[in-house]
Amino acid sequence: MIFFRSQPGLVAYVTCGDPDLATSRAVILSAIDAGADVIELGVPFSDPVADGPVIQRASERALKNGTRLEDVLTLAEGVRNSRPLTNLIIFSYLNPLIRYGLPKFVKRAKEVGVDGVLAVDLIVEEAGEYRLLMEKSHLAPIFLAAPTSTDARLKKVAAASKGFIYAVARTGVTGAKTDVRGDAQQLVKRIKKSSKLPVAVGFGIANAEDFQAVGKYADAAVIGTAIVKIIEEQSAKAASPEAVAAAVGKFIRCVKKTT
């Protein structure tokens, strides 16, 4: 069951294994304690076509360090044990899941306490087996909805999704600046006509101003690149895992305007 404890909710993305798994764990726990409602555990991938340069670099570093899907699942298990009430989502491209084996992956994800999965390049029309496996394990399949999606396709996304629907604020890759009051707002209105699920807006949400603007029409905002950039900058200074985590926690508190 995925829930947002506050309105608007904050979904925080972290590329697991960047710069190492110990830092990822510290960052994730800090993000949770600072007010993040959902953590997206990013599985590093060699060809992250939907991601901008910041997250691409993070994936490259994590892969160079040897981080694989099983490491991300083990990390999820540790976070679940430390913060039992946190919503945990595996964020991955389809290729690592297929290499691992879809039935094995879904079984393992359930075992470690994951709430849902967002396979970013898996379209609804080709997700039959995946959805059946997810349903049997009571895991939430989360799908993307884009401004270019037709109303008919939005209905398919709404029918297939559980937990929440991820509304892509604009076409393109992650990290680029987004007009959060334009196409994204219209997209959320269109989704709401077909679904009662919460809608989280992502791609280009970078600061407190963006977060508050999205919160006026959506249930949650997804912040990824801004967090990964902080990790990159702190790591370049050879900061300790605790220092990197503290910087991310400070940022999230600022975004949510909490103390």
Active site amino acids: 40, 51
The tokens 């884009």 sit on which residue? 146
User: What residue spans of the chain are helical by DSSP H?
Assistant: 21-34, 53-64, 69-82, 94-100, 102-112, 128-136, 151-160, 183-192, 208-214, 225-236, 241-256
User: What is the C-alpha separation between 115 and 89, in angstroms, rounded?
Assistant: 6
User: What is the C-alpha separation between 161 and 154, in angstroms, rounded?
Assistant: 10
Task: Name 25's Cβ contacts closer than 8 Å, sequence gap at least 6.
Answer: 75, 78, 79, 241
Q: Which of 43, 50, 99 is nearest to 72 (CA)?
A: 43
Q: For 117-149, give one letter per residue: b (16+ CB within 10 A) or e.
A: bbbbebebeebeebbebbeebebbbbbbbbeeb
Question: Which residue type does 108 have?
Answer: R
User: What is the C-alpha separation between 48 and 51, in angstroms, rounded?
Assistant: 6
According to DSSP, the β-strands at 116-119 and 140-141 are parallel
